[in-house]
Structure 1
Amino acid sequence: MLDQWRDGPTKSAIVDFVEHTAAEVPPEERVAVFDNDGTLWCEKPAYIQLDFVVRRLAEKAAGDPSLAAQQPYTAASDGDLRWFGAAITKHYQGDDDDLKLLAAAGLSLHMSLTVEEYAARVSDFFARADHPTLGRPYRECTYAPMVELLRYLEAHQFTCYIVSGGGRDFMRPVTGVLYGIPPERVVGSAQGLKFSDTGDLLIQPTLDVFDDGPEKPVRIWNRIGRRPVLAVGNSNGDDEMLRYCGGLRLLVHHDDGDREFAYTAGAERVLEHAATQGWTVISMRDDWATVFGD
């Protein structure tokens, strides 16, 4: 039972809550929601989906050199993942200027692909791509203790959902293999779709929903129809989802610079709320016996 978690207050809080909930709450009400980036898989030095996008931006700039003089194509051509990571961090600190540049370029990358064609590209990416600094395939960059927590909750008849600011259609091709979470339980940001005369759904260069911050509780209600009794996040973008939770709130704190990365940028507000509102903070350094597993 949670063998990849070290004994201590955090593990005890999880076990006590789950056992109490299993005894007192009907199974259909045992809804748990998990952020993805930085909660279930690694998000540094840049989001995995950003690496996927960066590679495509670099390909596009190579075919049109005029693009290389402007962002985000300059950073993509230079392989500068820090620029992209900083754009997301700035977003969580209230500055969306760089994120708007990234969004405008990124939305046009897969225009008119069918959703199946896009899924095939994502699957191919995960089959081939490695993390730039950890020296392991991206498909092995999931947090083993969190995957174990998913199994523990399911064993107690919780239904687990992923609710992420990341792309819904980027996550869906791999969440079954990585987490055991089927595509219908993945809630995320999404581009617009159009039904074509060929009977396919085509990706459009528009943003349908950005599933982040206050949008997360709205999407939870729209897609699930229940207030979660357990929620797990790691950044300011998860603050509202954690506040919406009606039970145990867990915050993953990235404080392990030896086994992963140590940072608080983009999590300042949620860490403050965790301290003042009594949420359970998961220390990667102190609470996890392993990070990525063997």
Structure 2
Amino acid sequence: MLTTWRDGAAKKAITAFVEQAAEVPADERVATFDNDGTLWCEKPVPIQLDFILRRLVAMAEQAAELRSRQPWKAAYEKDMAWFGAVVAAHYAGDDTQLPALAAGVLEAYAGISVEDFETQANEFLTTTEHPTLRLPYVQCAYAPMIELLAYLRANGFSTYIASGGGRDFMRPISHAVYGVPREQVIGSTATLSYEDDEHGGTIRHQPVLDYLDDGPEKPIRIWSRTGRRPLLAAGNANGDIPMLRFTRHTDKPTLRLLVLHDDPDREFAYTIGAEQALEQADRNGWTVVSIRDDWHTVF
């Protein structure tokens, strides 16, 4: 039971919570997990961003006029600092450059069918190697979190992914990697269109955002999908604060987990984008999970 976790406050909080939750009806035992930085590695760049960057570069190589427009310009010039600055500014509350990045992300796969997108995403995740860990991306999930997901399900929980990452990007591997069925993946998505034909019709991605599943949108999407407040939620960044705060009951046990990236030897060490979350964890008694101190193994 939780053999990849070291004995300590975090493991004790998890096991005590699960024991208490046994008194809650099974259909109310909902647990939600962020993905990037919570279930799998998000450095040196988020995995889906790497997927999109490669597409932006290919587009810029085919159309020279894109090389002077963001985000194609930064992708083509390998200016990772620009992307990092946009993400850091977003977590600090400044979304000035976010529309430009979002427009490029949406254009990257505009018009592609959902089946073709899934095929490309699955091939990328299973064959592309992480630049520093030297593992296929699909193997960059955190072993202790995979074990935690299984432990919760063994104790009657329904486990959901609630990520700012793309829903259709995660779905191809969610069950094989995490044991989470594709219908229990909540994530950001572009709008979709349907074209009827004699072969059963085609659903395609459109270059218009449906919703970005981050910040206040996370509780909304969790409620829309599950009709429940979670009993347990896990995240690692400021964008997860609303989900963690939403995980509150006055008459049922609750647990909020915040993954702290503090292990530069086995993974990465950083708190940028998590400053507010760490403050709230300290103030509100959330359980902070130290990768360095709480996990026997990481991957």
Shorter-chain TM band: over 0.9
1:192 corresponds to which letter in structure 2?
A: T
1:204, CA displacement in angstroms? 0.6
In structure 1, distance between residues paired with 2:20 and 2:118: 39
Relative to structure 2, which stretch is displaced further, 96-105 or 252-261?
A: 96-105
Look up the match of 1:256.
263
**How many angstroms apart in 2 are the aligned matches of 1:88 and 1:171?**
20
With normalisation by structure 1, the TM-score equals 0.96
Equivalent-residue separation in structure 2 for 1:27 and 1:290 (angstroms): 30
Q: Measured at CA, do residues 82 and 136 of structure 1 come closer, stay the same or move farther in structure 2, by a change above 3 Å?
A: farther
In structure 1, the partner of 2:277 is: 270
Q: How far, CA to CA, are the matches of 1:82 and 1:26 in structure 2?
A: 48
Moved more, 86-95 or 111-120: 86-95
Measured in 2, the distance between the counterparts of 1:225 and 1:12 equals 29
1:120-172 deviation digits (Å, cap 9, x = unpaired): 11011112211112221101110000000001101101100000011111111
In structure 1, list runs of 5 or more residues that go unmatched.
none
Report the residue type matching 2:230 in the other structure: P
Aligned sequence identity (%): 57
Q: CA deviation at 1:82?
A: 4.0
TM-superposition CA deviations, 1:226-256 (whole Å, max 9, x none): 1100000000000000000021000001111
Q: 1:192-243, CA deviations, whole angstroms, 9 ceiling, x for partnerless residues? A: 0011122111111100011110111111111110110000000000000000
1:210 to 209, 212, 227: 212
Q: Which runs of 5+ in 2 are unaligned?
A: 249-253
Is the CA contact (8 Å cut-off) linking 1:18 and 1:153 kept in structure 2? yes
Query: Which of these residues, 276, 281, 285, is aligned with residue 288 of structure 2?
Result: 281
Contact map agreement 1:27 1:157 (CA 8 A) in 2 = yes
Q: Would you say the 8 A contact 1:47–1:85 is kept in 2?
A: no
- The one-letter code sitting in structure 2 at the alignment partner of 1:19 is E
Shift of 1:87: 1.9
Q: Distance in 1 between matches of 2:14 and 2:264?
A: 24
**Corresponding letter in the other structure for 1:219:** R
Tell me which of 215, 220, 242 is aligned to 1:240: 242
AA matched with 1:4: T
1:196 aligns with 2:195: yes
Give the distance between the partners of 1:44 and 1:252, measured in 2 at CA.
Answer: 14
Aligned positions, number: 291
**Residue 15 (structure 1) aligns with:** 15
Alignment-derived partner of residue 65 in structure 1:
64
- The Cα RMSD (Å) is 1.1
How far apart are residue 74 of structure 1 and its match?
Answer: 2.3
Deviation at 1:66, TM superposition (A): 2.4
Residues 230 and 248 of structure 1 are in contact (CA less than 8 Å); yes or no, is this contact kept in structure 2? yes
Residues 44 and 85 in structure 1, CA contact (< 8 A), matched pair in contact too = no
Match of 1:43 in 2: 42
Rounded Cα–Cα distance in structure 1 between residues aligned with 2:296 and 2:280: 26
Per the alignment, residue 117 of structure 1 pairs with: 116
Distance 2:205 2:69 in 1: 25
Query: Structure 2 CA distance, aligned partners of 1:9 and 1:88?
Result: 32
